[in-house]
A and B are shown apart, each in its own frame.
Chain A
Amino acid sequence: MNVDITDLTRRFGRTQAVAGVSLQAGAGVFGLLGPNGAGKTSLLRMMATVLPPTSGRLRLLDRDAGSYAPRREIRRRLGYLPQNLGYYPGFTVAEFVEYFALLKDMPPGRVPRAVAAAIEQVGLGDKARAKLGTLSGGMLRRAGIAQAIVNGPELLLLDEPTAGLDPEQRVAFRALLRDLGQRATVIVSTHLVEDVGAACTEVALMDAGKVVFHGTPDELIARGEGTGAAGDAPLERGYSAVLAAARSTTAVA
């Protein structure tokens, strides 16, 4: 299992952002759904080894993420796109991707080709030598995706990757996700259920720091059938039905 999480928690003062999450994921595209404040980003940041857990066990790529040497090895094989991607306006796209390829400890001889391949994969070939400060929001997002995939990650963590992409780019991006999911574990946190339906083989739904559903997109759709739950698409109805059921259980308890 590339991701093996047991009873993971994270607190920020009195706020419990992640409350005892257990998840396992192998190769494939894994969707992480949930409303704002559900704990998706905190969970993803812990998996990216950016945020230490308050308690619980976090094993990534068959290594303990809490220890220095294994964590460094995990980071070499990790790709991460944060929700709020910062960039250096004076860097070109190629320089930005190369910078992070080097910081990921890639062998320098492999870097130029990997940078070119990543930039081509996200369709930014014609902007490779453009300064990041001159690009649109969607292009910056694609530059962020390029730095995340430049090292051919075995574990790819993407927080709201399609934010800012136009419909055509989103379709192309989902195809890229499916391709990457053939050989890596791709975890995508998103608000957009259509991204999950089109690209994900598994999905987890979070609410109030807990996983309230874990299954396939078809199973999520089945949860919404005949419930009269709100939503324009079957997945949205499944999403609403699971959330409503989880919240009513919490209210009763």
Chain B
Amino acid sequence: MSDTDAGRPPGAPASWDTAPADVDLGRVWTGVAAQVWRRDPGWVERLAGRLLRSPGLARALVATPSLLLAWIIATLVVLAAGAVATLGTGTPYVALFAPALAAAGVAYAYGPGIDPAWELSRSVAVGDRMVLLVRALAVFGLNAALGLAASAASGAAAALTFGWLVPMTAACALALAAATLANSANVGVAAGVAGWAIMVLAGRATLGQYTAAVTDSALVLPYLLFAVCCCAVALFATRISRGTS
């Protein structure tokens, strides 16, 4: 299957045939090809690689929007969940559980049946849940950037962007940071959920739209305690001997 062991590889110069016999031309050609075909990662990918301590996750992050069908489906679900969350139903439960809908949408869009290389990506060392967190950040982050641009022209876009896309981008970034630090996607998810819950409940409390049980600022401490408990449970559930990924 290889041309490098016998004869001149495709694209190699004619002088190939007259090179000294003690030079491993196959090896030389591979080195040349590596330089010619190498892709220079952009600054976002380089920065993400450093922050996430994984060039694979960084590559997955920047490649996410290029998987077009999955991207469109994930974006539509995320925007629909955002519309529901920012509708102003008077109860915080809708906003609290909207991320579950968004997460399910992103997981479905980049899951079996739609992501063509899903089976392959299940067999690699970088965990599929970590990849999913990265994909969620990419979906929210890029849509938040687009939303910021659209906010200048539309009030509805501004409400969706500042009430949903930007906070969820922050929650996803928090989740990914926690997952990277703890080396566990489950810990990241717990941190992201806790962060979002605190954001929603604190926001409601300051607006006075929530019931007496949550308008009391003294309850911030229990919220934080709840978040710590979530993290502890996630840490327990993802300890290595349990064999979760």
Contact = CB atoms under 8 A, between A and B. Distances in A.
Nearest to A126: B10
A150 B242 CA distance: 30
A98 B39 CA distance: 9
A75 B31 contact: no
B169 to A, nearest CB: 24
B23 interface: no
B143 interface: no
Interface string B93-136: 00000000000000000000001111111111111000100000
Contact of A50 (B30, B122, B127, B241): B122
A123 B55 contact: no
Contact of B116 (A86, A115, A172): A86
Contacts of A112: 34-35, 37-38
A67 B241 contact: yes
Given A68-B242, A86-B119, A119-B33, A176 B2 contact: yes
A252 to B, nearest CB: 39
Interface band, chain A: 35 or more
Contacts of B125: 72-73, 75-76, 103-105
A175 interface: yes
Contact of B1 (A88, A115, A173): A173
B156 interface: no
B56 interface: yes
A42 interface: no
B59 interface: yes
B238 to A, nearest CB: 8
Interface string A91-102: 100110011101
Contacts of A104: 56, 124-126
Interface string B44-78: 00000100001110011001001110000000000
A2 to B, nearest CB: 16
Given A129-B37, A142-B1, A105 B240 contact: no
A125 B242 contact: no
Nearest to B27: A117
Contact of B121 (A103, A129, A172): A103
Given A120-B9, A173-B1, A80 B240 contact: no
Interface in A78-133: 78, 80, 82, 84-88, 90-91, 94-95, 98-100, 102-105, 108, 111-113, 115-117, 119-123, 125-126, 128-129
B34 A115 contact: yes
Contacts of B11: 125-126
B22 interface: no
A113 B1 contact: no
Interface of B: 1-4, 9-11, 26, 29-31, 33-35, 37-39, 49, 54-56, 59-60, 63, 66-68, 115-127, 131, 238, 240-245
Contact of A120 (B3, B49, B117): B3
B120 A85 contact: yes
B1 A121 contact: yes
Interface of A: 48-50, 66-69, 71-73, 75-76, 78, 80, 82, 84-88, 90-91, 94-95, 98-100, 102-105, 108, 111-113, 115-117, 119-123, 125-126, 128-129, 142, 147, 169, 172-173, 175-176
A39 B223 CA distance: 50
Contacts of A99: 59-60, 63
A145 to B, nearest CB: 8
B37 A128 contact: yes
28 contacts: A50-B119, A50-B123, A67-B243, A68-B244, A71-B243, A73-B125, A78-B123, A88-B67, A91-B66, A99-B63, A100-B124, A102-B56, A103-B60, A103-B124, A108-B55, A112-B35, A116-B33, A116-B34, A120-B9, A123-B2, A123-B3, A125-B4, A125-B10, A125-B33, A129-B37, A142-B1, A173-B1, A176-B1
Nearest to A123: B1
Given A67-B243, A115-B34, A88 B117 contact: yes
Contacts of A85: 117, 120
Contact of A169 (B1, B30, B121): B1
Contacts of A67: 240-241, 243
Contacts of B238: 68
A175 B6 CA distance: 13
Most chain A CB within a 10 A radius of its CB, from B29, B60, B122, B123: B123
Given A120-B30, A123-B1, A123-B3, A90 B68 contact: yes
B9 A125 contact: yes
